[in-house]
Amino acid sequence: MPMNSIYSAIKGLKDDGHRIIGCFPLYPPVELLHSMGLTPITLWGLRDRYRNVPLSDRHLQAYTCSVGRCLTEFVLRYGSETLDGIFMYNACDTLRNLPEILQNGLAEQSDSLPLLRLHIPTSPLSRPADAEYFRGRVRRLVRELEESFGTPFSIESFKKSVGLYRLQRELASRLQELVALGCISFNEFCRIMSAGNFLPVERHLEMLQNAGEQCDTSRDIGTDLPKIMISGILPPSPGITECIENAGLRVADNDIAMFKRAYSYTPPSATNPEDYYADLYSNHYPCTTILHTGDARVEVIRRSVREHDIRGFIFVGEKFCEYEYFETPYLRRVLEGEGVRMLCLDFSLEDDENIGSYRTRIESFADTLRP
């Protein structure tokens, strides 16, 4: 979706009466926000939509990752025109530094937005004291949402919202399976999944259901294409994804924070939000930003490589994301042990326009995977 489309879509929702809460990535508690009558949108996946970020550049140095810079640009550019509030949690060192910067930046424009925060512990909450602390934080967030937006919390509403997002995650998983079978392109999968960041979940469910139903199960892009996994915080831009698929590679699985890491796990029960989120964040699909899951991440990738007969691994590096880059050398060795080659691509702002050099590297990589 081009930026003006994203802007129009969100503005349209707001004009229709939706109360939009702009969430910092990666894994905000969307179910809770939705149950309180809000429409959560997650502010990432904007890199290929911005050529430059002048408002952000007044506040953030160029060595900030594009996720942080683009999020800042969006909030400062559109502020209360598109949003009714902002939610953040301690996802990473960069994002935790942003709330006051955004508030200052908005104030300069005589704008302001309520800001809600949640501290998510870095432990798996196996210690009772840690779990009780986190439950207290979630209960406090519920109170703050009630005070900020005037909607009382309802367990029935929460369970309904959980049901919607559970279905969204299930449909997303099935869509990835269809990609692995070659029934739908990874490019199309990325387009559909990325759109979900800026749509009400109900509309995204329609998109996912339609995509699954309309998928051409007779499509065969070649069962002998080398299978790869794509990993990173964000998906590659459409141009890069096209290069990958045009190079004759089939994306058999992904380890992308916006995609599989986000949709792979939903707690089985939702008796109350504090227990639900304690479960969700403790048992979350491994991610480099969920600090206690480092060991588990290597194992899930290894399992996927074996299950899907993956021969190649493309790391889509979000430049300046230490969380990803600290794990890459070890991951490379593990993959080499499985006979899997790794290609590392770095992306920062504007890099998505430089398709030529990436195409060359992707095509060379594809050549190495062919028997």
Residues that bind another protein (CB under 8 A): 58-61, 63-64, 68, 90, 92-94, 96-101, 104, 117, 119, 121-123, 127, 129-130, 133, 136-137, 288, 291-292, 294-295, 298, 319-320, 322-323, 325-330, 332
The angle formed by the CA atoms of residues 36, 41 and 43, to the nearest 5 degrees, is 140
Task: Of 196, 133, 131, give the one whose Cα is nearest residue 168.
Answer: 196
Q: Which is nearer to another protein, 155 or 291 (CB)?
A: 291
> At closest approach, how far in Å is the CB of 346 from another protein?
8
> At closest approach, how far in Å is the CB of 284 from another protein?
15
Task: Of 41, 114, 52, give the one whose Cα is nearest residue 80.
Answer: 114
SS3 340: coil
Task: Of 124, 43, 57, 35, give the one whose Cα is nearest residue 88.
Answer: 43
> At closest approach, how far in Å is the CB of 106 from another protein?
12
> At closest approach, how far in Å is the CB of 137 from another protein?
7
CA 141 to chain CA centroid, nearest Å: 22
Q: Which is nearer to another protein, 138 or 201 (CB)?
A: 138
Q: Which two tokens stand for residue 196?
A: 């979900």
Burial 45-64 (b: 16+ CB within 10 A, else e): bbbbbbeebebbeebbeeeb
> At closest approach, how far in Å is the CB of 15 from another protein?
32
Q: What are phi and psi of 248, to 5 degrees?
A: 85, 30
